[in-house]
């Protein structure tokens, strides 16, 4: 029994040390700060390892697309408020999804090839089933 307690103690200590080393080696303070502050651009920069030039280009794309996105959202909300036909709302939503997809592809084109592929794999599945009730995000379903 005495050896079992000692063995368990050593095993727990080893597990704790392994976790601590793993956490310290994989902790990215910039990503955690961006997540806490809900800074999508900071998260994007850190997660996809963007250099200053890439980040500046993507930031400009993001700022420019914000205007387009706001117009699409306003059109969809207006159509829903005035009880437009399902076909009209569906057409507006399709336009929105196509615009988002194009925007995300332009963003990915600014990244290194592997990071761009990973970015599209992260964001495009969320666009496909986007409900247009609020802005798309990476937390759970859109």
pLDDT tens digits for range 4-21? 556 555 555 554 444 444
Residue 41's pLDDT is what?
85
Sequence spans of domains, the chain: 1-29, 39-128
HSE-CB of 131 using CA atoms within 13 angstroms:
6
Instruction: Give the pLDDT score at 141.
Output: 42
Stretch 28-42: mean pLDDT: 57
Give the confidence band of 24 by pLDDT, cuts at 50, 70, 90: very low
Q: What is the mean pLDDT of residues 18-36?
A: 47
Nearest 5 degrees, angle CA 63-CA 29-CA 120?
45
**DSSP secondary structure string for all residues of the chain:** -HHHHHHHHHHHHHHHHHHHHHHHHH--HHHHHHHHTT-HHHHHHHHTT--HHHHHHHHHHHHHHHHHHHHHHHHHHHHHHTT--HHHHHHHHHHHHHHHHHHHHHHHHTS-HHHHHHHHHHHHHHHHT--SSS---SSS--
More confident residue, 21 or 107: 107
Single out the residue of 96, 57, 46, 44 nearest to residue 74, CA to CA. Answer: 96
Name which of 34, 101, 38 is nearest 69 in CA terms.
101
The pLDDT mean for the chain works out to: 77
Q: Are 92 and 76 in contact (CB under 8 A)?
A: yes
Report which of residues 33 and 55 the model is more confident about.
55
Residue with tokens 């995300």: 104
Question: Residue range 124-134: average pLDDT?
Answer: 73
pLDDT computed for residue 108 by the predictor: 96
The pLDDT > 90 percentage for the chain reads 46
Residue of higher predicted confidence among 9 and 69: 69
| pLDDT for 68 beyond 50 | yes
The residues near 44 (Cβ < 8 Å, ≥ 6 apart) are 50, 58
């Amino acid at each position: 029994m005495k050896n079992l307690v000692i063995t368990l103690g050593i095993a727990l200590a080893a597990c704790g040390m392994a976790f601590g080393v793993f956490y310290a080696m994989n902790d990215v303070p910039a990503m955690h700060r961006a997540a806490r502050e809900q800074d999508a651009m900071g998260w994007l920069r850190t997660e996809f390892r963007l250099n200053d030039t890439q980040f500046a280009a993507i930031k400009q794309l993001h700022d420019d697309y914000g205007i387009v996105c706001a117009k699409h959202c306003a059109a969809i909300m207006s159509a829903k408020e005035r009880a437009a036909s399902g076909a009209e709302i569906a057409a507006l939503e399709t336009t929105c999804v196509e615009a988002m997809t194009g925007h995300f592809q332009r963003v990915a084109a600014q990244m290194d090839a592997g990071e761009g592929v990973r970015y599209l794999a992260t964001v495009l599945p969320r666009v496909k089933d986007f409900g247009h009730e609020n802005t798309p995000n990476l937390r759970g379903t859109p």
